[in-house]
Amino acid sequence: MFTEEEFLKALASFGEIIPDPIEYRFHYDNLGNITMCSMQNHPASEQYLVVDQKTYENYTHYRINVEKKRLEKVVFDPRISVKLKKSVSGYAVVKTHAGLIIEPDENYKNVEYYDSID
């Protein structure tokens, strides 16, 4: 067994351990769609863009302009908009959580209803 002194001496002989720097990358196809994100063990690809950590974490909001090799913000527009109001019939939802729709085969105690505004 080693003594603590021998252990510390052996540990000091390794020198300072410096972790590899992290480089955040978006890999993309010829149309500018992000096909992969990597921050280490990067694949052998020439089509990538280096980004910061915040952008990396929000990759779904971006695409690549292939000609300019720059990020572009993606605008999400579902083109569907339905205004709802509280009702006694219509969409059954969890009370005080209108985003949690209850399916017809589900049973739930605290239910309220929303219906579309005509």
pLDDT score, position 33: 93
- Please give the model's pTM, rounded to 2 decimal places: 0.54
% the chain with pLDDT above 90: 47
Q: Is 44 left (phi over 0), alpha (psi -120 to 50) or beta?
A: beta
Query: What are 62-109's pLDDT values in tens digits?
Result: 999 999 999 999 887 777 777 888 999 888 999 988 889 999 889 888
Domain residue spans of the chain: 18-73, 84-116
